[in-house]
Chains A and B, each alone.
Chain A
Amino acid sequence: MAVVRLSKVSKAYGTHQVLREVSFELEKGRMLALIGRSGSGKSTLLRCMNGLETIEGGEIEMAGHKITQGSVSLRALRQDVGIVFQQYNLFPHLTVERNVTLAPDVVKGMARDEARALARRVLAQVGLESKIDAYPDQLSGGQQQRVAIARSLAMAPKVMLFDEVTSALDPELTGEVLKVMEDLARGGMTMILVTHEMAFARRVADTVGFMHHGRLWEFGTPEQVMNKPATPELEGFLGAVL
């Protein structure tokens, strides 16, 4: 059953059309990697999927929550759809534990010791249980990004979005974040990521989507999309990045 369903999603900034009738479906437990040049609309598309950007046409359905042009119940949607950002965006004034437990506490009303146990569990999942009392600025970029993943996991989302989460990291720190994401994928999390990590996309993703000029230009298995590009645009892009 499709847990993510996009149908003719369109968006424009003024006269600039950033998304043109994007449609696709994603089954539960699958990982979709969105690739494409900067400005092709892939990050915007991802941000539309948790309501950080509005859409002007079409419909998005995420884990049963519908997003259309009009009003959306963003809070219900966001309890089921997590997002991890390129710049981590941890809360710098809070400890790692509080970063992770803030939303379970104030949004879901979780009890304090239950929240602490939850923090331990999700931090163990990203290999950072020992940093539970640290502040974000005491961690490396890779560790901060793993805390950001743990923070998102703590809300027990049904779908997780990853917006170029390794782009701000040194190559040696990229690996530890990708490993956490691979573990999540194996654990059955439904994931959509915008990424420049072609090798990772090819190896771990079930589906790859190539965005070009706001359109979902090609969509298929990694083998289809990355080994046998059907269009000169994708061929040109792969030639440039591989």
Chain B
Amino acid sequence: MNSRTFSWTDVLFLIEAARWTLLLSAIAFAGGGVIGLATALARTGPSRLLRSLASIYVEVIQGIPLLALLFLSYYGIGILGINVSPVLAASLALVLNAGAFLGEAWRGCIEAVPRTQWEASASLALTRPQQLRYVILPQAVRLAVPPTVGLMVQIVKATSLASVIGFVELSRAGQMLNNATFKPFLIFAVVGAIYFACCYPLSKLSGRLERSGNGSRSPVKGF
């Protein structure tokens, strides 16, 4: 059997496919961020109903492998008679997944703001939304930078699982090239390098944010 060689055009093909990886990551992070914030607020909020709903959501999603979630959203919705495209199914699964993990991380950050900050702001007659907006969340956001960046990196890498439902992103493109060229080591080295190129700046950015003046004025210090 003759296999064709791996050339620079193939690298370009991979980089093009990486655009889908980045797009899927952006969708997962944006959607997951909205759901995550709602989840974190619900879990730290006064309503017992919302607290339990949010905690059920987090526990269910965290207890299901993302792979299973992807199959569920692709084939599961299909069974209901609704035709979903791979990109839609992958987005849905990744958003739900990211929402649970971000929500859980952010809940921890909100809870890490000392209780006395709630008391002090309540004593000044602020309402609960005002307390959150002006006192609690600004401090929680600073604590949230490292775990959030960590999860963003996880999200970028998790998009590779979308290849199993036929969505052509970076990993899937690598598989397709490998089927044509039979150079798995070379191809997946390039694929890995592209993932690394996407994730490394995120980690660097996190370090910068943590060292910057705002990040160092932590709510716990001086307490």
Docked CA distance A124–B143 (Å): 34
Q: Which residues of A contact B214 (CB under 8 A)?
A: 93
A residues engaging B (CB < 8 A)? 50, 52, 74-76, 78-79, 82-83, 85, 87, 89-93, 102-103, 106-107, 135-137, 151-152, 155
Q: How far is the CA of A75 from the CA of B134 in the complex (A)?
A: 17
A171 CB to nearest B CB, Å: 20
Name which residue of chain B comes closest to A161, CB basis.
B123
Cβ-based interface call for B51 (8 A): no
For the complex, give the distance between the alpha carbons of A76 and B119 in Å.
16
11 contacts between A and B (CB under 8 A): A75-B127, A82-B124, A85-B120, A90-B120, A91-B117, A91-B135, A92-B219, A92-B221, A92-B223, A103-B125, A103-B126
Other 18 A-B pairs with CB < 8 A, given A50-B123, A136-B222: A74-B125, A79-B125, A83-B123, A85-B120, A89-B117, A91-B134, A92-B217, A92-B218, A93-B142, A93-B219, A102-B134, A106-B126, A107-B124, A107-B130, A137-B222, A151-B124, A152-B123, A155-B124
Whether the pair A93, B120 counts as a contact (CB closer than 8 A) is no
What is the CA–CA distance of A151 and B117 in the complex, to the nearest angstrom?
Answer: 14
Chain A residues with CB under 8 Å of B222's CB are: 92, 136-137
B167-223 at interface with A (beta carbon < 8 Å): 214, 217-219, 221-223
- Do the beta carbons of B119 and A89 come within 8 Å of each other? yes
CA distance A106 to B126 in the complex (A): 7
Say how far B119's CB is from chain A's closest CB, in angstroms.
6
Are A75 and B116 touching (Cβ within 8 A)? no
Rounded to whole Å, the gap between the CB of B41 and the closest CB of chain A is 19
| Pick from A74, A76, A102, A155: contact of B122, CB under 8 Å | A74
Contact A137 B217 (CB under 8 A): yes
Q: Which residues of A contact B121 (CB under 8 A)?
A: 91
Give CA–CA (A103, B142) in the complex, Å.
22
* Other-chain residue from A85, A136, A152 in contact with B116 (beta carbon distance below 8 A): A85
Residues of B within 8 A of A74 (CB): 122, 125
Chain B: number of interface residues, binned into ranges: 20 to 34
Residues of A within 8 A of B120 (CB): 85, 89-91
Smallest beta-carbon distance A175→chain B, Å = 22
Q: For the complex, what is the distance from the CA of A75 to the CA of B119, rounded to whole Å?
A: 13
Complex interface: chain B residues within 8 A of A75 (CB): 125, 127
CB distance from A41 to the nearest CB of B (A): 18
B45 within 8 A of A: no
Question: How far is A93 from B55 in the complex, measured between Cα atoms in Å?
Answer: 30
Beta-carbon contact of A78 and B119 below 8 Å: no
Which of B116, B127, B138 lies in contact with A89, CB distance below 8 A? B116
C-alpha spacing A196/B219, complex, angstroms: 28
**Contact among A85, A107, A135, A136 for B125, CB-based, below 8 A:** A107
A148's nearest neighbour on chain B, judged by CB, is: B120
Set of chain A residues within 8 Å of B142, measured between Cβ atoms = 93
- CB pair A87 B124 closer than 8 Å: no
**Are B217 and A135 closer than 8 Å at their CB atoms?**
yes
Given contacts A52-B119, A106-B134, contact A93 B217 (CB under 8 A): yes
Question: Closest residue to B115 on the A side, CB-wise?
Answer: A89
Contacts A92-B221, A93-B142, A136-B222; A103 near B122 (Cβ below 8 A): no
Residue of B nearest to A102 (CB): B134
Closest chain-A Cβ to B143's Cβ sits at a distance in Å of 11
Name B116's closest neighbour in chain A (CB-CB): A89
